[in-house]
Structure 1
Amino acid sequence: MESKKRGILERLDAGEVVVGDGGYVMQLERRGYVKAGHWTPESAVEHPEAVRQLHREFLRAGADVMQTFTFYCSEDKLELSGNVKTISGAQINDAACNLAREVADEGGALVAGGVSQTPCYVLSHNETEVKAIFKKQMDDFLKKDIDFLVVEYFEHVEEAVWAVEVLKTSGKTVAATLCIAPQGDMHGVPPGECAVRLVRAGADIVGINCHLDPLTCVQTVKLMKEGLEKAGLKAHLMIQPLGFHTPECNLGGYVSLPEFPFALETRAMTRWDIHKYAREAYNAGIRYIGGCCGFEPYHIRAIAEELAAERGFLPPASEKHGLWGAALEMHTKPWVRARARREYWENLLPASGRPKCPSMATPANDGLTEK
């Protein structure tokens, strides 16, 4: 357990696999604690037991990092949502840090304080105002026992660079992930150039999160890696993609799908999809591997199980599960027992179960954030 106490860079520098946690806003919305569309994290104060339980499930599934439930927790976003009247961003940040630390300490995990894109950037593009928002949230984090900082869910690399520049003044390790497609950010900046800008701004770890499916996100991280190599720069790579199939998405990602946000279950990844994703990410040289919206605890467990040999252990959530359906060997039905093997699940082509279900959708053209 001694290695569990080491910092994020110590683990990554040693070549270890770091398993991230999964999504929070969508999972908690489904459970009745978050308002869809606004996705603000006031439930860290209003319903701490719900947030704590989700943290705990991700930890048990094998996550090495507990991200604070502080997505969209900037004062301008909270005010714009109209969702929070008597709770401040500072209160949410404080409660979220406490919950993440409480659960992380149960299993030797690290705590990461996260900031995300702001409405202020789109409305004003004022660097001073935007940076002040990030500094306010960073100051809240620094009052707590966090281990490193994460810049996540940014559609514009310019804003992400501003966030990195602010968070780097903390002296903490900074990871930065963009929610962009292989075509680049919303201003058309290619992934490789995005990675270069983030690292030059001070990011120690760079990568992709949310908006698109896992294998698409792996492709984008590969482009980021190529850009860094051409520029002679080094950084650790990170990926926390969407837990849904999005083959027809445009630059706006899954928010442009007609199923967003209330019917995405039809696109959910199976655990076997996640096994494939974890292996693809590992083979691409990515060592910080987790998930975002749509990633339930069992998806995180699939990452941990796929990379069990590399990590040297299985998570507690695998104790009754068995690898590759091995627990099915005790089933009373012979045709179910026959499924207790890797080959069956790897080659399965799941049916949708929905008569006349379309194989593709037409994404909305207005799914893009204004530039």
Structure 2
Amino acid sequence: MAPAAAKKGLLERLDAGEIIIGDGGFVFALEKRGYVKAGPWTPEAAVEHPEAVRQLHREFLRAGANVMQTFTFYASEDKLENRGNYVAEKISGQKVNEAACDIARQVANEGDALVAGGVSQTPSYLSCKSESEVKAIFRKQLDIFINKDVDFLIAEYFEHVEEAIWAVEVLKESGKPVAASLCIGPEGDLNGVSPGECAVRLAKAGADVVGVNCHFDPMISIETVKLMKEGLEAANVKAYLMTQPLAYHTPDCGKQGFIDLPEFPFALEPRVVTRWDIHRYARDAYNLGVQYIGGCCGFEPYHIRAIAEELAPERGFLPEGSEKHGSWGSGLEMHTKPWVRARARREYWKELHPASGRPYCSSMSKPDAWGVTKGDAALMQQKDATTEAQLNVLFAKKSLKSF
């Protein structure tokens, strides 16, 4: 029997003009399913509940993703130890990173997907640790990614381009392709560096792919990547573009994105984008010249499937998950109600303006906009200490039967 052909790598695919579809959001999806704790947002589920992480990978693969990003968001040692997180006492960062790599590889091998090892911003940087100290944090994760032979690397979710550059410089030591994405909007990073300048600096640091992820919705993210593209072209610097936005509408957000919204993180559901919004996003991203198109927090497998379906003419095939869907609602042709059958067409869904069903709710919120230097004192003063203490006791005892 002839050996199986090796999978084409990231740059080989991009150089050939292929569209890379990333996966969706893990921490938010797994928090909703009961496997991740909001607040720390750390990925110990890779060790504690590997079956849950594996299943979500499989759903994204079936939906059309051809990148399985390791569930290593906030998996640096300093983050696991931060804020009194119990994880560091029970599960080492090494175990979390290794388990995440193994799960991603197993699922990637079930299809034509690549494995991307991911690092993100660190408490060490925010605590003003030195460049060498921050880079040492990234290098610990990189050593594991090298040992597990991931296909490429992603530095994502950085609010400061300086830290992202440090991450890129470390990841380039592997000799593997590196992508870098910032969680910024059109105003730039938290130090005021513009999106175009951020893109140029990342590319010059060695990033093969640059773009944005998280914090803002698809439309705002497209606007930000457009500014990145203009900056790269003006500086005559080359890099591929990527975008992996939120699946929440954020037109009212300020510089820090959705974390300033009063609905963050437990009441964001009214803001969820539809699959048809994602069709538009995928087309706009493609028309802009973005080749790496995926999602972040809030992106469920059906959102990823929408990307794959919108770009099926360019890619030449539909994902496996489309077998149970049908393009633009064509499956509705089998519905028993004639008025629902009439919705089995592209024009209907493209022109629809969905109602929220919330008659007393405003269409937008007033973000908290605390800024980046305020601590927790003001928030704690607003809390009902008695109620909080009672809830903490109940949760500690894992006894909610009295509710």
The verdict on a shared fold, with TM-score over 0.5 as the criterion, is yes
CA distance in 2, matches of 1:367, 1:153: 18
1:323 paired residue number: 327
1:35-72: per-residue Cα shift (whole Å, max 9, x none)? Answer: 00110000000000000000000000000000000000
Change beyond 3 A, Cα 1:199–1:247 = same
1:125 deviates by: 4.0
Letter in 2 for 1:83: Y
Quote the residue 2:80 is aligned against: 78
- 1:110 paired with 2:114, answer yes
Whether contact under 8 Å (1:151, 1:163) holds in the other structure is: yes
* Contact 1:321–1:327, Cα closer than 8 Å, also in 2: yes
> Quick one: which amino acid aligns to residue 312 of structure 1?
G
Amino acid at match of 1:53: Q
Aligned equivalent of 1:283, options 284, 287, 296: 287
Question: Whole-Å Cα distance in 1 between the matches of residues 226 and 93 of structure 2?
Answer: 35
TM-score (normalizing by structure 2)? 0.90
Q: How far off its partner does 1:83 sit?
A: 3.2
Q: 1:122: how far off?
A: 1.0
Report the residue type matching 2:213 in the other structure.
N
Letter in 2 for 1:48: P
- Choose the corresponding residue for 1:190, options 180, 188, 194: 194
> Which sits farther off after the overlay, 3-12 or 168-177?
3-12
In 2, Cα distance between the equivalents of 1:369 and 1:25? 25
Corresponding residue for residue 177 of structure 1? 181
CA distance in 2, matches of 1:229, 1:120: 33
TM-score, length of structure 1 as denominator length: 0.98
Q: CA deviation at 1:145?
A: 2.5
Structure 1 residues 344-369: Cα deviation after superposition (integer angstroms, max 9, x where no partner) = 00000000011211111000021646
Any idea what SS the aligned residue of 1:186 has? Answer: coil
Residue 211 of structure 1 aligns to a residue whose secondary structure is coil
Which residue is equivalent to 1:301? Answer: 305
Q: Residue 22 of structure 1 contacts residue 296 of structure 1 at CA under 8 Å; is this kept in 2?
A: yes
Distance 2:151 2:232 in 1: 25
Equivalent position to 1:25, from 9, 18, 27 = 27
User: What secondary structure sits across from 1:319 in the alignment?
Assistant: helix
Counterpart Cα distance in 1 of 2:352 and 2:316 = 28
Displacement of 1:86 = 1.2
Aligned partners of 2:200 and 2:325: how far apart in 1? 42
Where does structure 2 lack aligned partners over 5 or more consecutive residues? 375-403
Q: Which amino acid aligns with 2:11?
A: L
Q: Partner of 2:117: helix, strand, or coil? A: strand
> Which range is displaced more, 147-156 or 117-126?
117-126
Q: How does 1:79-98 map to 2 (within 5 A)?
A: 79-81=81-83, 82-84=85-87, 85-98=89-102
Counterpart contact for 1:101–1:145, Cα < 8 Å: no
**Distance in 1, Cα, partners of 2:22 & 2:371:** 28
The answer on whether the counterparts of 1:255 and 1:367 sit within 8 Å (CA) in structure 2 is: no
Q: Does 2:125 correspond to 1:121? A: yes
Taking a change above 3 Å as real, the CA distance of residues 15 and 352 of structure 1, as seen in their structure-2 partners, is same
Structure 2 equivalent of residue 8 of structure 1: 10
Select the residue among 62, 67, 70 that pairs with 2:69: 67
Structure 2 counterparts to residues 120-269 of structure 1, below 5 A: 120-269=124-273
Task: Name the CA distance, whole Å, in 2 between partners of 1:251 and 1:18.
Answer: 28
Matched-pair contact (CA < 8 Å) for 1:211–1:254 = yes
Equivalents in 1 of 2:5, 2:109: separation in Å? 14
State the secondary structure of the residue aligned to 2:180: strand
The one-letter amino acid of 1:169's match is: E
1: distance between equivalents of 2:47 and 2:129? 31
* Residue matched to 1:342: 346
Where has structure 1 moved over 2 Å in runs of 4 or more?
A: 367-370
Question: Which string of whole-angstrom CA distances, capped at 9 and with x for unpartnered residues, describes residues 268-295 of structure 1?
Answer: 0100000000000000000100000000
Counterpart-to-counterpart distance in 1, 2:363 and 2:31: 27
User: Where in structure 1 are there 5+ consecutive unaligned residues?
Assistant: none
Partner letter of residue 44 of structure 2? E
CA contact (8 A) 1:253 1:367 kept: no
Gap change, CA 1:235 and 1:347, over 3 Å in 2: same
- Of 47, 54, 57, the residue aligned with 1:55 is 57
1:349-360 matches, within 5 Å, as 349-360=353-364
The answer to which structure, 1 or 2, has the higher relative contact order (CA under 8 A, 6+ apart) is 1
RMSD: 1.2
Q: What is the Cα deviation at residue 3 of structure 1? A: 8.9
What is the aligned residue count? 369
| Alignment partners' CA distance in 2, 1:170 and 1:218 | 30
- What's the offset of the Cα at 1:239? 0.5
- Equivalent AA in structure 2 for residue 72 of structure 1: Y
Deviations 1:119-161 (A, max 9, x none): 1101124101000000111001111031000000000000000
SS at match of 1:73: coil
1:67-118 Cα distance to aligned partner (Å, 9 max, x none): 0000001111100141302111110010000000000000120000000000
Q: Deviations over 1:153-204 (max 9, x none)?
A: 0000000000000100110000000000101000000000000100110000
